[in-house]
Amino acid sequence: MITAGGPDTARTWEAVVQGRPTTALIPELAGMPVQLACQATAFDGDAVLGRRAAWRLDRCTQMALVAGREAVADAGLDPAGWDGARVGTVLGSALGGIGTWQREYDRLRELGPERISPLTIPMSLPNLIAGQLATDLRACGPSLVTSTACASGTTALGVARDLLRHDSCDVVITGGAESSLVHSVVAAFARAGALSRNAEDPELASRPFDKDRDGFVIAEAAAILVLEHPDHARARGAQVYAYLSGYGASADAGHETRPDPEGAGAQRAVESALRDAELFPIEIDHVNAHGTSTPLNDLAEGRMVRRVIGGHPLVTAAKGVTGHSLGAAGAVEAALTALTLKHQVVPPTAGLRETDPAVDLDVVRGTARKEAVEAALSNSFGFGGQNAALVLTRA
């Protein structure tokens, strides 16, 4: 993982377990109606990839490559020795290389068409995030990018799981990446009323399920996971963090930005994931919530979780620390859920001071809780009414 919490998995996990908010005023957003963001300041693509390689890649893709290399190394896999035809790449991203589009549009407007980079299209096309990772890792199997708004990373994991289930691959490198801290995106979300404006106290800007929440904090991140067929993993003695046991998806088929107030579409996705995992709601010990810190989303999700799962699971929302990384968020949260299953620790929801009384759930706050977690649910919901849910179980 690469997040505002840290440039790798260990430091991101530490920040999330400590409940350490990362929201800050970002100088690059000066002049925007909202200047708050969760920026991965410790990540330097030039330093990690080399300046010559990095300048050909959008920052979103740079993050995906570095996170992908970390994931593959952690899995004990060597691209030089694997059968690349049996390795796929499926990544999620809502906006792709939007940073490149913004920069090159500014250049067009100020300097003219002759100054546009000839690499603009390959740097900005969403599919090139997966394409570049596939090239970097010599993965010659199916390669694609899913774009289901803020559910994109979770959708990617579901598609990747299906490739394994249908024996199209032995291994799929999957997850999500997003870097969209640019003027056009921030201004648009601000105009839509989606962003927190709590600039006086940035640490309380992202506060999922809090009674005083007022919007999300935009973030950048990448999270890459290695999904592997169980037989293939056992044959090589792989370290297993968790099993991806269930996946479900649905559409609200309603408003383009507002969630269904009762979470009916989200409920269909969650119930589908539970059926796929062959688990009953009572067997879910932990919910890693979408928890954006917006008034409508948190209330709809809270009602849905209480109705479908019940009040017994420990709930957390990582966006209190990481902010909302749009298409990467579901992948970040799936990775954090896998780490919860491995370490048996449920992180707190940073920024949460007083839980909204309309959210009748056990939302962890203050400090992490050491609890037995055998099965967990990770939710993601996006504009367009696109819902996706994963059930992860302990290895």
Out of 150, 166, 169, 232, the active site residue is 150
Task: Provide the token pair at 102.
Answer: 């913004």
Domain count within the chain: 2
Distance CA 199, CA 221 (A): 22
pTM above 0.95, yes or no: yes
286 with 227, same domain: the answer is: no
Q: Which of 145, 144, 139 is nearest to 170 (CA)?
A: 139
Assigned domain for 90 exists: yes
- According to the model, what pLDDT value does residue 258 have? 87
377 with 314, same domain: the answer is: yes
- According to the model, what pLDDT value does residue 66 have? 98
290 noted as active-site residue: yes
Domain end residue (candidates: 236, 255, 271): 236
140 with 289, same domain: the answer is: no
60 noted as active-site residue: no
189 with 173, same domain: the answer is: yes
Assigned domain for 134 exists: yes
Give me the phi and psi of 114, to 5 degrees please.
Answer: -70, -15
Burial class (CB in 10 A: 0-12, 13-18, 19+), 121: middle
Assigned domain for 1 exists: no
Assigned domain for 232 exists: yes
229 with 289, same domain: the answer is: no
73 with 179, same domain: the answer is: yes
Using 50 as the pLDDT threshold, list the residues of the chain that sit under it. Answer: none
309 DSSP assignment: T
Distance CA 21, CA 322 (A): 7
Give me the phi and psi of 35, to 5 degrees please.
Answer: -115, 10
Amino acid making up residue 320? G
200 with 304, same domain: the answer is: no
- According to the model, what pLDDT value does residue 261 have? 86
Widest pairwise Cα distance in the chain: 62
CATH code where residue 53 lies: 3.40.47.10
- According to the model, what pLDDT value does residue 260 have? 87
Domain end residue (candidates: 201, 236, 271): 236
Query: Count of alpha carbons within 13 Å of 174, Cβ hemisphere only?
Result: 31
Burial class (CB in 10 A: 0-12, 13-18, 19+), 119: middle
225 with 319, same domain: the answer is: no
Domain end residue (candidates: 236, 256, 280): 236
Assigned domain for 3 exists: no
Domain that holds residue 358: 243-393
Residues near 263 by Cβ (< 8 Å), separated by ≥ 6?
Answer: 300, 301, 303, 304, 307
183 noted as active-site residue: no
